[in-house]
């Protein structure tokens, strides 16, 4: 399974905050149980009320705030990053606008359990949270009843990038693109530069090796192509928030 790193989960029962920004390097799923909001993506505006999900992700300028006359709303959100987000986008599974919550589950309880598992910092908790998140995205895709066509070049590119020694120039040539065009189209399609996608994939593999093996950290760094274990540790902490040693001890 392509990897995903969970960053933070929040639950504010009487939210009043206002968000307006470009997301860089991560994505979120937001959920409102009750209340009324204005949600904006660049020039697209929505007013939603009741039980709704909406995404935030690299690319559009995203904003949301209380709608006029609304005192507060019940707000939950889960933030994450990793190669799996790009796979969801490539396969048309990722929502690009607010969607009403399907009438299939008690979504507040579902979201709370998904968030608890995501923040548990255990391997099995993380995998169960990934399954729950993908299940949520599947239900939202089914509920909108729109088949978004896959982008074959992106699906093929993501598969190739998952292989050892993937070469950007060769991938671009195989898709009939100049390297600059390939880089631009990849970032437009996934919200992440191709080099950062590869870096996130490398960090994801490091997390798996730290949890599932007892290999020394220097050996893990060497196997991932790092020439310096200190640089590996610094980069790992930059994306995960803790050092490789602390991450391993928390498993």
Would the pLDDT of 113 be above 60?
Answer: yes
Across the chain, mean pLDDT equals: 88
Of 18-22, 44-48, 94-98, 236-240, which gets the smallest average pLDDT? 236-240
Domains of the chain with CATH codes: 5-144 (2.60.120.280), 152-249 (1.10.10.60)
- How far apart are the two ends of the chain, measured CA to CA in Å? 19
Token couple for 230: 């200190």
Tokens 């598969």 label which residue?
159
Average pLDDT score over residue span 90-107:
89
Q: What percent of the chain has pLDDT over 70?
A: 96
Compute the CA torsion angle 138, 141, 145, 150 (nearest 10 deg). Answer: -100
**pLDDT confidence band for 251 (50 / 70 / 90):** low
From the centroid of its chain, how far is CA 251?
22
Please report the pLDDT score of residue 122 as a whole number: 84
> Do the beta carbons of residue 55 and residue 95 sit within 8 Å?
yes
pTM: 0.68
CA distance 70 to 181: 45
Residue 63 belongs to what H/E stretch?
strand 62-66
Band (pLDDT 50/70/90 cuts) for residue 29 is: very high
pLDDT in tens, 139-183: 998 887 654 556 788 888 888 887 767 888 899 999 899 999 999
Query: What is the mean predicted confidence (pLDDT) over 180-188?
Result: 88
With both helix axes pointing from N to C terminus, report the angle between 179-190 and 194-212 in degrees, rounded to the nearest 10: 60
Strand partners, 77: 10, 30
């Amino acid at each position: 399974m392509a990897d995903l790193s969970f960053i933070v989960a929040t639950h504010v029962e009487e939210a009043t905050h206002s968000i307006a920004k470009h997301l860089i390097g991560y994505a979120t799923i937001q959920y409102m149980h009750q209340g009324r909001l204005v949600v904006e993506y660049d020039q697209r505006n929505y007013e939603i009320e009741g039980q709704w999900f909406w995404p935030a992700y690299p690319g559009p300028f995203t904003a949301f705030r209380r709608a006029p006359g609304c005192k507060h709303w019940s707000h939950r959100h889960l933030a994450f990053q990793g190669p799996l987000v790009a796979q969801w986008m490539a396969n048309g599974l990722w929502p690009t606008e607010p969607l009403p919550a399907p009438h299939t589950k008690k979504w507040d309880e579902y979201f709370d359990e998904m968030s608890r598992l995501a923040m548990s910092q255990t391997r099995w908790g993380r995998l169960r949270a990934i399954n729950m998140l993908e299940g949520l995205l599947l239900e939202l895709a089914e509920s909108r009843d729109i088949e978004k066509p896959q982008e074959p070049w992106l699906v093929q590119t993501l598969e190739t990038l998952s292989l050892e020694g993937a070469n950007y120039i060769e991938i671009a040539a195989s898709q009939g693109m100049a390297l600059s065009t390939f880089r631009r189209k990849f970032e437009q399609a996934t919200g992440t530069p191709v080099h950062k996608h590869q870096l996130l994939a490398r960090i994801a593999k490091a997390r798996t090796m730290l949890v599932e093996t007892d290999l020394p950290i220097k050996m893990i760094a060497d196997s991932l192509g790092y020439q310096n274990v200190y640089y590996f540790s610094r980069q790992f902490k930059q994306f995960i928030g803790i050092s490789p040693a602390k991450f391993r001890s928390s498993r």
